[in-house]
Structures are given as structure tokens and as C-alpha cells.
Structure 1
Amino acid sequence: MSESPNLTYIKELADGSIAFEQKLIAIIKREFLKEKNEFLDNYNIMAYSKTAENVHKIKYKIGLLGFETGYQIAMDFEEELKDNNPSLYPKFILILESTEHFLKTI
């Protein structure tokens, strides 16, 4: 996967306000790990409807981090989960891992 998370969109939203940028990043960091764990719990018990809800929440954080391909895969995965189809799980896990690594390094 050549694309990775970045701060381009957040910097654009912040429009030069370091305080706003830092606050938004702090919120994403705080919520992402909790939502990722809920996602994994629901996925592991094959509660795909709840898993789709988890992906729905996570995808916005992926989008805020400028991960456009990841956002699209998350959207597709969410829709597939609603039909009890988890086939995009391997791709989504790579996105989650990449996002989590990025969040730990900023």
C-alpha cells in the first residue's frame, strides 16, 4: 500500500492554528484505539452488524488523516459487513495498523 496517513487535511482544517491541530490529533488518538479494540472484539465474535458500526466510526478518523485509499476501503468494508461479508478484512487490518503506527509517531 503506497498511501499512508498524513496530517495534510488536519493542517488545512486548522488553517495555521497549532492549538486546533493538536486538539484534533489528541481526540483522534484517544478515540482510535478504543474504537479499534471494539471493532476487533465484534469482528472476532462475527457480530458483523456491530462491526460495520465500528468501521463507520473509524473511517472518519482515517479520512481526517488524509488516507484517501484507506477511507474508500473502509467505506466498502462497512457496506460489505452489512451483508455479512468480511472479505475486505485483511486490507482493513493493514489500514488500521498503518494508522495506529502513524498515531504513535506523531
Structure 2
Amino acid sequence: MEKPNLEYINQLARGEEDVKNTLIAVVKEEFPIDLENYFKSLENGNFKDIEDQVHRIKHKFSILGLEISYNKAVDFELSLREGELNKVQKDDFETTLKSITKFLKTI
């Protein structure tokens, strides 16, 4: 399984620590809110809301260097758009959410 990393953030920052720290701060601030909203959407069972949250969160996957997980999130988002809550996709997505949650505590 791929692991979250700061490679893409480092590329965007181009050696500027302030930029790097700002990007990390944004992810650390937004991710817990996105996570909470995702699980609330699941509880409500509204596929459009779940899809919106997956769409928002998948970009954090990309920023944290999780290309495979990003592509899986795209597939999950498309399934939701078609009215299907695919258990395997959901489980993969949530495994990545846990991985990011742990990672963000270390940076």
C-alpha cells in the first residue's frame, strides 16, 4: 500500500519553507473537517453528498502523493454518481483516510 508523503508539497513549495508550511497547515486544517463531513454524509445516505465529499477529499490524496488512491477515489466517486455504494471502493477509500489521519499526526 502506498503511503502519504510530502513529495508533491515539496515540489510545489520549490524550497520555500513558508509555502510548504502553509500547504501542510491547510491540509491539516481541512482534512478533519472533510473527514467528519464524509462520515455524516454516509450516515445520511445521500449519494450526492457522499460523492461531493469524496470529490473534495480525493484532492488531498493527490497532494499527499497518493496517486493510486486518488485514482481509486475517482472510481468510487463515479460509482456514487451512478447511485452505487461499492463496499470494496468504500473500504479502500476509508483505509486511505485512516492512513492520512495517522500521517498528519506526524508532520
Q: TM-score range by the shorter chain?
A: over 0.9
Give me the whole-angstrom Cα distance separating, in 1, the residues matched to 2:53 and 2:78. 12
1:60-79 paired onto structure 2 within 5 Å: 60-79=59-78
Q: Which runs of 4+ in 1 moved over 3 A?
A: none
Alignment match, 1:91: 92
Deviation readout 1:58-102 (Å, 9 max, x if unpaired)? 111110000111111111111111112111111110010001111
- TM-score by structure 2 length? 0.95
Give me the whole-angstrom Cα distance separating, in 2, the residues matched to 1:99 and 1:90. 14
Q: Indicate whether 1:10 and 2:9 are aligned.
A: yes
Root-mean-square deviation (CA), in Å?
0.8
Shift of 1:21: 0.3
Matched AA of 1:91: D
Alignment match, 1:103: 104
- The count of aligned residue pairs is 105
Identity between Structure 1 and Structure 2 (%): 35
Give me the whole-angstrom Cα distance separating, in 2, the residues matched to 1:100 and 1:60. 15
Alignment match, 1:41: 40
Alignment match, 1:53: 52
Give me the whole-angstrom Cα distance separating, in 1, the residues matched to 2:32 and 2:19. 21
SS for the counterpart of 1:78 is helix
SS for the counterpart of 2:105 is helix
Give me the whole-angstrom Cα distance separating, in 1, the residues matched to 2:33 and 2:67. 22
Structure 1 residue runs without a partner (length 5+): none
